[in-house]
Amino acid sequence: MNIKTYRVFIILSTVLLMLSLIFFIVTRINKIEKKESSFLQSMNISTEPLNLNKLLPLEKEVLDNFKKIPKNEYSYKYKEIIENNRSLLNLHSRQNVGAYILKSILNSNELLPEQRLYTLNKLRIIDMLSGNIVETIKITIEYLDLAKDLNSEYDVARAKIGLSSIISSLGGNKTTIAMLKHINLENKSFDSINRVKISRYIHLAENYFFIEEYEKSFECLNKISNLLKNEPNDYQMNILLLENFLKTSIFLKLNNSEKALETLNFSKSLLDNIKKHYFADLNNVYILNLESYNLKYRPQNFNAENVKNYIENSQQIGDIIYMKKAYDILFQYYFETNKFTEYRELELIHNSYLKRIGNANNKFFTLYLIENLENERVAAENKKLYIHISILLLGSLFISIISFKKIQYLDKKSKIDALTNIGNRLSFNIKIDELKDKSYNMLLFDVDNFKKINDTYGHDFGDEVLATIGKILKTIENKEINIYRVGGEEFSIIFTNLNKTFCIDSCEFIRKSIENIKWKHPIIVTMSGGFSHNNGNIYIECDLKLYKAKSSGKNMIIY
């Protein structure tokens, strides 16, 4: 789906949702005098059917054991059922069997309110993996309402943290931080309050990371150690793992390779010694961190297959934040290695993933709305109802907006060279195709003796040279002058709708500007280039003239 089509889709979806909401409210007002009932509790939690022929052996075993338990025993075996599901946490599958089982016992009406609350808490965590944001919001809201009814401060706090996590996965990081700060845990003394505080600090640290406030992120992480003292060893190790995963990401952003490797190695040692996993996907999060480090500092060790396998195995069930990270790593790898065919193929898969999540959530929202128009009877004064519907609507709109922004971002990023911040080879090729039958001039040049510069002063200085040249080129860029880094130390400038004399003057200005740069090392950097007018083989002509400039003494442009 291209950007124009996606824009039309978003507008139509928004209009449809708004009309549906207005119709819903008008219909409900006409039923004021009917008996009040709970909007959320009268709706059964959606239970997607399982394809029994595609179950993995472990999934089949867990499901078969569950089916052996009679419904009338759910009320005293619900914790055992939930514990049995733990074995599925790190199992990548396209079917969320654990969620299916928990939804089944919730829909049985066999559980007491306290038992239902406990089960909803577990369900909201594992159902987030399904990618159905609206369904997860609904479950979390029901969990929050029931927690308030039962005066459970622990569960109220957990539900609010859960809602903030959903908003975070949709890109609302500043909103999430505000929500988490609003959760009041001071002077509270309920059971497991330390774990709630730990969860809050981890989510705060994560969202500060996303908005690049790394010091605040570290501040939150540093508050966790005192809260872990009386916790079981395995739980402590799980939390330390989450801490170190985030610290690795921060150090990578700060270009601190030594600290990043230190936290990465510590994460590996923790992972090897943990016997009980409290959180899903720990192994895969480690792999994503490892490959992020490899891509940046040890490209020879980078294994694209690890990232591709994570994406392929997690298309249907996978944490949205980590899926985004996996895509970003692979996009960066293809971009930096000029694998534009693979980049485009991945972009198609990524767009399909976003579309599938968006369509699933929009479809669920529509069916959810229609069913309640027919079956619900709530008094007009039930303000809570409209708050719930607003949250659901915002969730759907969030998904559409974030998806559209992501497509725009990826399209722009795929055409920009990361080092010099100018157009890359892909962008250059697109421009050449656009100008195929038009009149224009082009300069093709590269840096003289660049290999010697790298060998003498190091690759970091070589990168500095290229980045500085990119800044100089940026100063003359406009709608008639397009600049590109077409590979290594080679650059191109395309002049459209400009006379030849002006183009030549501009080329000489660039050549002299590069020659006059003062570097931190005792060196003069020059360039050699070839200039030509489009006649069907402009790149070849420029390249031949560039070669002639090199062989004629360098630091010149052949016109």
Model pTM above 0.75: no
Average pLDDT score, the chain:
80
Q: Tens of pLDDT along 245-289?
A: 999 999 999 999 999 999 999 999 988 888 887 776 778 888 888
Q: Tens of pLDDT along 369-389?
A: 444 444 443 444 455 556 656
Q: Which residues pair with 529 in a beta bridge?
A: 445, 557
Say which residue, 136 or 483, is predicted with more confidence. Answer: 483
In the structure, what pLDDT confidence band is assigned to residue 9 with cuts at 50, 70 and 90? low
Rounded CA separation 449/462 (Å)? 11
Residue ranges of E strands in 310-464: 440-447
Instruction: Report CA 142 to chain centroid distance, whole Å.
Output: 27
Q: Which residues of 514-536 are buried (b: 16+ CB within 10 A; e: fewer)?
A: beeeeeeeeeebbbbbbbbebee
Say what the pLDDT of residue 523 is.
92
Locate 182 and state its tokens.
């609003």
Tell me if 531 sits within 8 A of 443, measured CB to CB: yes
Residues 6 or more apart in contact with residue 157 via CB below 8 angstroms: 183, 185, 196, 200
- Whether 414 shows a pLDDT value over 70: the answer reads yes
Say what the pLDDT of residue 262 is.
94
Tell me if 254 sits within 8 A of 297, measured CB to CB: no
Specify the pairing of strand 527-533 against strand 557-558.
parallel
> Percentage of the chain surpassing pLDDT 70?
76
- Whether 368 shows a pLDDT value over 60: the answer reads no
The answer to which of 48-57, 124-133, 329-338, 505-514 has the lowest mean pLDDT is 124-133
Say which residue, 278 or 300, is predicted with more confidence. Answer: 300
Segments making up each domain of the chain, as ranges = 425-558
The answer to which of 56-70, 128-142, 217-231, 271-285 has the lowest mean pLDDT is 128-142
Say what the pLDDT of residue 6 is.
55
* CATH code reported for the domain at 425-558: 3.30.70.270
Beginning with the edge strand found earlier in the chain, give each strand of the sheet holding 557-558 in spatial order.
481-487, 490-496, 440-447, 527-533, 557-558
Rounded CA separation 177/327 (Å)? 25
Residue 377: C-alpha distances to residues 32, 372, 373 (Å): 8, 9, 9
Say what the pLDDT of residue 487 is.
87
Look-up of token digits 């892909």? 426
- Whether 89 shows a pLDDT value over 70: the answer reads no
Say what the pLDDT of residue 4 is.
56
Q: What is the mean pLDDT of residues 215-237?
A: 90
Q: What is the mean pLDDT of residues 320-338?
A: 81
Say what the pLDDT of residue 282 is.
79
In the structure, what pLDDT confidence band is assigned to residue 219 with cuts at 50, 70 and 90? very high
- Whether 181 shows a pLDDT value over 70: the answer reads yes
